Amino acid sequence: DTGVSQNPRHKITKRGQNVTFRCDPISEHNRLYWYRQTLGQGPEFLTYFQNEAQLEKSRLLSDRFSAERPKGSFSTLEIQRTEQGDSAMYLCASTGHTEAFFGQGTRLTVV
């Protein structure tokens, strides 16, 4: 297992289009987190899963955002009708009992 994997690494999309990101966590980790990070800022919590159950969604996550983790393995984050303000790095992390391990992120640019 080589760690948390995120795809794609970069995504450029036109405003109003839908985008989907994928995260493959470390296989034995049951917790999976999504964060959003803008330049020079700390990661902002979006949502997280215990296996396939979504435990919490941040108020930052508008109705245009949806996340799933079918079968408790990989997760997807979809943004519908993208806006320029959605441009950011989207980070995925997984954890066992203590610290989180992060993927390299997906950088989204909405033009």
Partner 1 sequence: AQTVTQSQPEMSVQEAETVTLSCTYDTSESDYYLFWYKQPPSRQMILVIRQEAYKQQNATENRFSVNFQKAAKSFSLKISDSQLGDAAMYFCAYRSEGYRDDKIIFGKGTRLHILP
Which member of 14, 27, 40, 84 binds partner 1 (CB under 8 A)? 40
Residue placing its CB nearer to partner 1 in the complex, 35 or 65: 35
Does residue 103 sit in helix, strand or coil? coil
Which member of 67, 79, 89, 110 binds partner 1 (CB under 8 A)? 89
Rounded to 5°, angle at Cα 62 from 109 and 100: 70
User: Which residue from 16, 73, 6, 74 is spatially nearest to 36, judged by alpha carbons?
Assistant: 6
C-alpha–C-alpha distance, residues 5 and 110, integer Å: 22
Residue placing its CB nearer to partner 1 in the complex, 12 or 53: 53
C-alpha to C-alpha distances, 104 to 3, 8, 33, 54, 59, nearest whole angstrom: 10, 10, 13, 22, 24
Residue placing its CB nearer to partner 1 in the complex, 7 or 80: 7
1 binds partner 1 (CB under 8 A): no
21 binds partner 1 (CB under 8 A): no
101 binds partner 1 (CB under 8 A): yes
Footprint of partner 1 (CB under 8 A): 31, 33, 35, 40-45, 48, 55-56, 89, 91, 93, 95, 98-105
